Each structure stands twice: as C-alpha cells, then as structure tokens.
Structure 1
Amino acid sequence: MESLDETSEMPFSRWDCERVCLWLNDLGLNMYLMDCRRWVKNGEQLLRATQHEIEKELGVKHPLHRKKLQLALQQINSTGKVKKMDLDHHWVTRWLDDIGLPQYKDNFYDGRVDGQMLHYLTVEDLLSLKVTNELHHISIKRAIQVLHAHGFNPQCLRRRPSPDEGQLQNIPADVSLWTNHRVMEWLRTIDLSEYAPNLRGSGVHGALIVLEPRFNAELFAQILSIPQNKTLLRRHLSTHVVALIGNETQHKKREAESTSGYVPLLPNAKVKSKKFGIFGHKRNKSDADLEDFICPDFTRRQNGVHQSKERDEKAAKEIGAYSKEINTLTDMLARDKFFDNVPTSNV
C-alpha cells in the first residue's frame, strides 16, 4: 500500500474510505484495514464514531490500539490537520534498546506504542505491556522525562563518548542523555568491564542515574551483581558514581534518603495495579489522579505555566482513567504544541 500524500489540504472529514485506510496504515494499524473498507464511508464517520463502534465495527479490541486511534482522531479534531508522527512505533522499539529494556520490544510493538503514546503513557498501560518491575517503570519514566526536556528530539541521546569527553569533567545534564550502552562503556573506563554485561535488560541509563532520587551506588552495585563481600569494589563504584553525577546531585539524593517515608528502590520490586480491572472500568473517574501517568508533572506542565492547575489536572484525570470520556483529550491536544517541532529521525 502506498504512503499517504501529506501535501493534500483536504479536511480529514472529507476523505474517502481508501484515504482513511491509507492513514490507518501509516499509523501502523494496518490490521484493521479490512474492517475499515467494510464499514468506514469517509473521515467524518470515523471522527464521529463512538468507542463502542470503534471496537465493534472496526474490530479494535486491543486497548492500546484504541488509545492510539483516539489520540490520533482527537489530534485531527483539535487542529483540523493530520500530522505525520516521526516518532512512530518502530522508533519506540529502538528507543527501548537505548534505555536498556529490549525485552519489552515485542509487547510495545504489538501495542503500536509511538511517541505520542509515550507522552500519555500510564502505569496501567505499562502493566498491560507486561512491565511489572518497579525499577523498569522508573527507568521508562526518567527516559520520557529526558525526551520532554529535549522536545522529543529523537537524536538527543548519546550512544558513544565524544572525542573530547576524556579531557572534560562530565556534566550531569550530559550524563542524563547517556544510553544503556554508553553507561556500559563508562563502566569499562573505570575498570569494571567484567560487570558491564549485567546492565543488559536492566533499564539503567543516564537519566535514571542522574534524575532518579532513589538510584544510588548501592542499588547500582546490586544491579551489577557485585558481591557484598567485595567492599573495595563497591566503594570504588560509589566514588566514581559521585564523580559522574556531581556533588550537588549526590547531595539531593542524600536529602531524599533522609526524608520520612523514604523507601529504597530494589532491583526486583514489583508494581501492582491500583485498579480492579486492567483499565479500571470499576474505578470511579474521580478516583484517577496524575499519578496514573508515568510522567505526571510533564503531562501537566505541557499546557503552559499560565494555565490553571485545576483545569490541567481535570483533563489529565480523564485521560488517566481511560474511560469512555476519552474524548476530553481534544482540549489537551489542541494546546499541545511540542510535537510541532519534532525533527525527522533516521535513527
């Protein structure tokens, strides 16, 4: 099937069935093309379709596929335009390699998780993707935080050391861009080569090391499987971690450890659903909160510092609940501008 011609200015509502099918194919939802040709007459019909119709008539039963389709439709409803997503689901699977979680690539690919879905990813979404390890949840959270900070630039991560890096002191902001592979390279420079392979599939990357208050040298040593009785090696790692992240960042981590209610992060701790069902159909919409999001602060902040906090939280709650009222995404997406400047990736 040929690709959709993005140069056309024709409103989506006036697209015929075949053009809508091309659009679905570009979204990666090509498994629904047969039902689309059977049921969809034009773009207007799809824009007006209810959740029940999308599930029954289009056969979109996968919850993440429904979420992806609804986000795309609400983007069109709010802007009147169709946007090509540069950070598609293929890019996301490569991104999982970068952050050290390749074991989830098949699940994310099957869910067709793309860059826009990362922006609205919830805890329950991750559980449905079989990500149950707490450390892996936090790894994804901090990786998304870095993407937000860099405007979802697909080329912002650092996979290799720069030529002059050896002569310069590492800056935490730069270290936060390190991929899992780059961290493994760093371990080799501090004479811990034999433990570097243990980082594969760990979810350890620069943003986790720098930005996560509960990530410390002790946890790092556990992930690397450095035995408890190798005290000199553990001290060696701790010294280099502090040198890597800087004294200020280390001080903030110490402050976090001293707060009441602090719970250390463990390599094998599990995340449990707070809801009755996978997507919380028995949970009241009012019970949902910003903590449903993997990156709640950034989801709220993307609407601008001058907007009302209550208004943002209300919109975020409705998306987080993933209820039939998901159409309230329209207002959020209308104000969401950060995807406008995402550069095309060849990564």
Structure 2
Amino acid sequence: MPTEFKRGGFRATAGPRLARTPESARATRDMTVPFSKWTTEQVCGWLEDCGLGHYVNLTRQWVVSGQTLLLATPQQFEKEMGIKHPLHRKKLQLALRSFTSKAMEKSSELDHIWVTRWLDDIGLPQYKDQFHESRVDGKMLQYLTVNDLLFLKVTSQLHHLSIKCAIHVLHVNKFNPHCLRRRPGDENKTSPSEVVQWSNHRVMEWLRSVDLAEYAPNLRGSGVHGGLIILEPRFSSETLAMLLNIPPQKTLLRRHLATNFNNLVGLQAQQEKREYANTSGHTPLTTTAKVRPKKLGFTNFSHLRKRRPDDSADYICPVEAEASPVLNGTPHHTQAGFRGLSPMTDRNSERVDHVGPRS
C-alpha cells in the first residue's frame, strides 16, 4: 500500500520522481537567455519546477515575458496570479531576485522536498505538512522571519530557537545538504565542533551510549539537535532533562545526565551557558513559552528587492558580516571554532525572545 511509505502527512520521497528534473527543464529553456526575455510558456514551466505549478493558468493569461514578473509587485502577484499565500509570494520574489543578483547563493540549490527531510533531521517532523504546503525551500530558510515561522504554525519559543540554530549550522556549512551527522562515530573522540552538526537522531544515539536509552524516544518532535545544544546559551542539562521527562526527584539520574552533557558540549560552551545563566533578567527555556508576532504591514517582503542595512534584523537567523563568506563562496571552515558564530552569541539582538507572559 502506498500509505506505508507516508511520512509526516505526505510522501516525502515522491517529489523528486514526480517533478520535472533540472535536465528536462533546461531542455525546454535556453538558460543563456536572460529571464526577462523568457516566453510565457518558459515562465510557466519554471513556476512548475519551483513547486508553484498551481498558479500557471492565471500566469499564462497575464505574463507576456519574464520581464512581467521582474517588474511586478507583491500586490500584482496576488491580484494577477492569484497568489494569496504569503510564503508563496515570498518564494517567488526570492527566486526572481536570484535572476537579478550576480551572487549565486548555495541555499537556492535545496528544494522544498529537501527541507522536509531537514525537518526530520532537526527533530521537528510535525511541521512537515506546513512547510511542504508553503513550498519552503533552502533559499526561503535563509530568509525566514519570526512571522514566517508563526504563519507555519511554529509558535514554540524552543522550536524557533531550534530552527534558528539549525539554519545557522547551514550557513556555516555553506548550505551543504549533507552537513548534518546522522550516524554515530567514535564516541571517545567527539568534539563540540562535530556535535554542533548532530541530527536529532544522532543526539538520541548519544543518549543510548550514556545509558539513558529509555528516555531517548522522548526527544522525537522536540527540536533538539547538536546545533541547539551547542549554540544556544540557555540550553542546559536541566533543559534536556525536562525534555527527556526525567523526574526532578531522580537527582542521581539528572546528575549523571549533567556530567555527560558537560563532557559533550566542552569547556567553552559550558562557560558561555554559565555566564548567560548568571545575567540579570535571564529567563530559563521552557517547553511552554510562546513567540508573539511582530507587527508588519502587507509590504513586509518589499525589502527583498532593495535591502537596507537593518533589514536583516527581521530574519530568524540574520546573515551577519562574519557569515558572509558562507554566501559568496570563499572558504569557511566549521572546525575553526564552532563558537563566536554571531547570530547565536549576539544576545543584544535576539529575535525570538518575544514570548508571552513571563513568570
């Protein structure tokens, strides 16, 4: 039965087989011709390749050439093409921007099917349907905002942080689709710079290796992955114990977890977590804290065409100056210090701390 292969509400493996391949797409379009000169049919074929094929009928009636889309506003996308879904409009704008930008971003090579598998890897498979319906691809991940995540029904503060850290790991690894480690290696030689790339499944394997196998399944759907453990200062052994449902009265078990957790994250991360816990106004992570939306108008995507220096503040994981080599292709090695990664350690501009009533 086909349903036996169903994961997260849809067949995640069906996309690559059913969608047109890049080779077949190139066969219908001469990629040396500027997008502005593409014909109506070429533009419609491209929309199908992007996962926006359900807007082709109205597009065919409105678009004269690629130039029509390049000059269009978000309001026109909604009125003329019937794109009422805000993330579909954003996806289209980002894709169009790649035609006018000289710098090729590696994130654009990751399609929306890959993103659903990535959600599995970071421990948030419960959002696969929303991300798939919104056609969130690698490029959209790079420019997700707090409100985008709320639209995708991601309301948990912990899950926002999970996605933020996971996107940052992608930034540092130049959006390498295979950067997350899913299988155990040599437990005796584990370094924090490797742990930062652990998937949710890999973290559960580690729990089994330190005699906490009975609690490991509790991390499914938690959003806990290596990047969150290492990069988020507020994520402590107490946070992990809470997510694992280890009762507070089991002090020896919690102490055992804390010892292994500290060995895992290393001295530098331990110190940063300790320092952050001692700061005034520190609010411990909980499983119940929710993120409040930021007030934005209809044209909140207009900055995609002309960015101002402060626009990146809206992104869940801003591209800082230190991370720019990741995007322009110059060498950037993840092993050269897993800390000091600006979006995680710059607590002055934290984007996801807009939570509900605090205790």
Q: Using the alignment, how far apart are the partners of 1:80 and 1:280 within structure 2?
A: 23
The 1:271/1:279 distance shift into structure 2, 3 A limit, reads farther
How far residue 274 of structure 1 moved from its aligned partner, in angstroms, is 2.8
Q: Using the alignment, how far apart are the partners of 1:84 and 1:254 within structure 2?
A: 34
Q: Using the alignment, how far apart are the partners of 2:299 and 2:242 within structure 1?
A: 33
Match of 2:260 in 1: 240
The 1:278/1:228 distance shift into structure 2, 3 A limit, reads farther
* Residue 91, structure 1, aligned to residue 111, structure 2: no
Match of 2:72 in 1: 49
The answer as to whether partners of 1:146 and 1:176 remain within 8 angstroms in 2 is yes
Q: Using the alignment, how far apart are the partners of 1:38 and 1:120 within structure 2?
A: 30
Match of 1:337 in 2: 328
* Residue 173, structure 1, aligned to residue 193, structure 2: yes
How far residue 66 of structure 1 moved from its aligned partner, in angstroms, is 0.5
1:94-173 to 2 correspondences below 5 Å:
94-162=117-185, 165-168=186-189, 170-173=190-193
Match of 2:41 in 1: 18
Q: Using the alignment, how far apart are the partners of 2:227 and 2:124 within structure 1?
A: 14
Report the AA paired with residue 125 of structure 1. Answer: D
2:224 alignment partner, one of 204, 221, 242: 204
The 1:276/1:83 distance shift into structure 2, 3 A limit, reads closer
The answer as to whether partners of 1:128 and 1:278 remain within 8 angstroms in 2 is no
The 1:7/1:237 distance shift into structure 2, 3 A limit, reads farther
2:316 alignment partner, one of 264, 279, 294: 294
Report the AA paired with residue 95 of structure 1. Answer: W
Residues matched between the structures, number: 302
The 1:217/1:43 distance shift into structure 2, 3 A limit, reads same
Match of 1:58 in 2: 81
How far residue 303 of structure 1 moved from its aligned partner, in angstroms, is 4.7
TM-score normalized by the length of structure 1: 0.81
- Judge which range, 78-87 or 61-70, deviates more: 78-87
1:319-345 alpha-carbon deviations (Å, 9 max, x no partner): xxxxxxxxxxxxxxxxx5359x9xxxx
SS in structure 1 at match of 2:108? coil
The answer as to whether partners of 2:158 and 2:287 remain within 8 angstroms in 1 is yes
Q: Using the alignment, how far apart are the partners of 2:80 and 2:152 within structure 1?
A: 25
The 1:208/1:79 distance shift into structure 2, 3 A limit, reads same
* Residue 32, structure 1, aligned to residue 52, structure 2: no
How far residue 11 of structure 1 moved from its aligned partner, in angstroms, is 1.0
Q: Using the alignment, how far apart are the partners of 1:174 and 1:83 within structure 2?
A: 22
The 1:338/1:64 distance shift into structure 2, 3 A limit, reads farther
How far residue 280 of structure 1 moved from its aligned partner, in angstroms, is 6.7
The 1:150/1:276 distance shift into structure 2, 3 A limit, reads closer
- Judge which range, 92-101 or 254-263, deviates more: 254-263
The answer as to whether partners of 1:12 and 1:81 remain within 8 angstroms in 2 is no
2:245 alignment partner, one of 225, 242, 246: 225
Q: CA RMSD in A?
A: 2.7
The answer as to whether partners of 1:12 and 1:82 remain within 8 angstroms in 2 is no
1:61-104 alpha-carbon deviations (Å, 9 max, x no partner): 11001011011112212339999932011000000000000000
The 1:299/1:61 distance shift into structure 2, 3 A limit, reads farther
Q: Using the alignment, how far apart are the partners of 1:80 and 1:159 within structure 2?
A: 31
Q: Using the alignment, how far apart are the partners of 1:194 and 1:278 within structure 2?
A: 48
- Judge which range, 30-39 or 222-231, deviates more: 30-39
Report the AA paired with residue 292 of structure 1. Answer: D
The answer as to whether partners of 2:107 and 2:139 remain within 8 angstroms in 1 is no
The answer as to whether partners of 1:12 and 1:80 remain within 8 angstroms in 2 is no
Q: Using the alignment, how far apart are the partners of 2:151 and 2:187 within structure 1?
A: 42
The 1:80/1:23 distance shift into structure 2, 3 A limit, reads farther
Q: Using the alignment, how far apart are the partners of 2:243 and 2:105 within structure 1?
A: 44
1:143-167 alpha-carbon deviations (Å, 9 max, x no partner): 01100011000111100012xx134
How far residue 247 of structure 1 moved from its aligned partner, in angstroms, is 1.7
How far residue 7 of structure 1 moved from its aligned partner, in angstroms, is 5.9
What fraction of aligned residue pairs are identical, expressed as a percent? Answer: 56
2:270 alignment partner, one of 244, 250, 267: 250
Structure 1: gaps spanning 5 or more residues: 306-335, 342-347
The 1:207/1:154 distance shift into structure 2, 3 A limit, reads same
TM-score normalized by the length of structure 2: 0.78
1:70 alignment partner, one of 90, 93, 97: 93
- Judge which range, 131-140 or 18-27, deviates more: 18-27
Report the AA paired with residue 62 of structure 2. Answer: W
SS in structure 1 at match of 2:109? coil
How far residue 304 of structure 1 moved from its aligned partner, in angstroms, is 6.4
Q: Using the alignment, how far apart are the partners of 2:73 and 2:298 within structure 1?
A: 21
The 1:243/1:302 distance shift into structure 2, 3 A limit, reads closer
- Judge which range, 125-134 or 50-59, deviates more: 50-59
